[in-house]
Structure 1
Amino acid sequence: MTPITSLLTHPGGAHKDEFLACSVLLALHPVPVIRREPTPADLADIATCVIDVGHSHDPARNNFDHHQLPKDHPPTCSLSLVLQHLGLYQDARQFCEWLEPAEWFDCRGPNDTARWLGIGRDTLAKLNSPIDITLLRRFAQTTRLEPGQPLWEMMRMIGEDLLTYVKSLRARLDVLAQTAVLWDLALPDGPAKILFLPRTDPLPDDPSQGLDRFIESRGLGATVIATVCPDRRSTGYGLSRHQDNPRLDFTRIAREADVHFAHARGFVAKTSATDIARLQQLLLRAGTPA
């Protein structure tokens, strides 16, 4: 396989899509970034990755431009094309809520994007961050970035974090699919579903990672009212309301001998209990009207 020796993208104003597309690729290919118009030789050279310019989408030649796509094509930007090439696009669309709006903004502009989001255009400006503004402005001012330069290193870190997030969350969801258990409990106000995650060895650094994503991916967002997962600080479990469901109030179990913490707002509690019957009993008592 021919190694990539450089990333090439357009000069002038910089946008989020090519900035992030280059960042993702830098995480995999730590090479210089060049900002100029491509030549036919660049487009033909597999070792030169051409991004967001050149009017060619040809992954076999490492060309990732979207500007030649028809105007009624679903919003697709250069980052979309790179993620598709890496086999990560569907997971990124599922896990990164910002990706679809970024596609819309790049392909449809602020007016159509605001209408699609159901907000006023002025609201989009209120969501701008000085982080975005500075990174894109500094990127626009460059013609070449090399390893070791602060902006190049920052882009590589952004790409690494994005790839790590998508890949690790997919792996976590796969684990949850094998280990999570759905409980059906008869609360005083009706039946309820609780997602229980048994303790494993080794225990993840964040046992609750991905639980909300897993619930939504299984179509259980409207039915699961709470999660029970291992407490990383003890041998017990944490009890949490899902999406702050008001059917449970954990202040109702604050005085139980094996409950060592219950938040004053009632959305979370910690218990030393490990027996399933006892955990379910605590949930039932949290659902009992005061």
Structure 2
Amino acid sequence: MHKIVVHPGSAHRDDFMAVSVLLANLEEAEVFRRDPTSEDLADPATYVVDVGMQYDPRLGNFDHHQDASLPCAFHLVMQHFGYHEDAQLVYGWYPLMSMMDVKGPHKTAEYFGVDASLLLASASPIDGYILSRFSRVESLGKDDLIYKFMKEMGRDLLTLIGEKKQRLTRLKKEAKVVQVNHLKAIVSYIDDNPKLAMELYLRYLGDPSIGICIAPSVRGKGWELMRLKDHKDVDFRDIAKDPKVRFVHANGYVAATHALLPVDQVIDLASRCIVEGHEHRAV
């Protein structure tokens, strides 16, 4: 059986995610939150993560603190299993996570041109709770609830990479870009998780004139119309009273129809919500 050794004390996203990916790739392992021994570092069946001052994938050692040029331990583990490049492509949060861990919130905020307090304020209480639970354990085995959670999370994370890549390929073949007034809209007929990889498709298209996405709704049997990048010329409140429309958000950024109307009808609805110089109305 493999062992995974990760640092004790406060847990962070880096070590938590690295261990989760390891558990997803190993049939079974024991997890220990302690400082590694020299035997641990020399044993290729023991993965030493985010501690130990060594980066040597041959021996399963994945620390980055001794070398400022290395990314976080999570990225090192993802590189080891061959997922790093694809994760860079499909997960917008992936590069940010390493920067936050390696350089800290202030340098990261400076890179993005924002105040560090914005990054700190966006911290999730869900993250905090899960990490605090991981911080309190000294070891984990396959029957522990948090072990099962981490293994499942790691598997889902890696599975989603493949699913997003496949969906991007399908969107390139099946989705359409149509002209709607002076803007463009993406129209996709895919009804299974319709928003999956849509952000990747937008990045692939690289067209700033695309302001709307039209796809089957996940809530009901109609279409969902969504304003992209909060485009200033789109406000779906202009169709709120149309009998074909089931829902319009109070901020006007999303609308849904009762049924899957013919595409020309839903495009007509979208065209009524696009006005050049349209300013979003206050709620």
1:18 maps to 15
Provide the rounded CA distance (Å) in 2 between the counterparts of 1:225 and 1:9. Answer: 45
Q: How does 1:1-290 map to 2 (within 5 A)?
A: 5-29=2-26, 30-69=28-67, 71=68, 73=69, 76-185=71-180, 187=181, 191-199=182-190, 203-204=191-192, 206-220=193-207, 222-232=208-218, 236-254=222-240, 258-263=244-249, 265-267=251-253, 268-270=255-257, 272=259, 274-287=261-274
Point out 4+ residue stretches in structure 1 off by more than 6 angstroms: none
Q: Does structure 2 retain, via aligned residues, the 8 Å contact 1:262–1:270?
A: no
Q: Does structure 1 retain, via aligned residues, the 8 Å contact 2:105–2:120?
A: no
**TM-aligned CA distance change 1:228 to 1:38, over 3 Å:** same
Q: What is the Cα-based RMSD across aligned positions, in Å? A: 3.2
| Deviation (angstroms), 1:149 | 2.0
Q: Does structure 2 retain, via aligned residues, the 8 Å contact 1:263–1:269?
A: no
The amino acid of 2:57's aligned partner reads P
Normalised by the length of structure 2, the TM-score is 0.79
Provide Cα deviations, 1:234-255, integer angstroms capped at 9, x if missing partner: 6653332223324334444455
Q: Does structure 2 retain, via aligned residues, the 8 Å contact 1:250–1:269?
A: no
The amino acid of 1:53's aligned partner reads V
The amino acid of 2:213's aligned partner reads T
* Structure 1 runs not aligned, ≥5 long: none
Normalised by the length of structure 1, the TM-score is 0.77
Report the identity percentage.
Answer: 33
Provide the rounded CA distance (Å) in 2 between the counterparts of 1:261 and 1:16. Answer: 37
Equivalenced residues, count: 275
**TM-aligned CA distance change 1:63 to 1:231, over 3 Å:** same
Provide the rounded CA distance (Å) in 2 between the counterparts of 1:232 and 1:133. Answer: 29
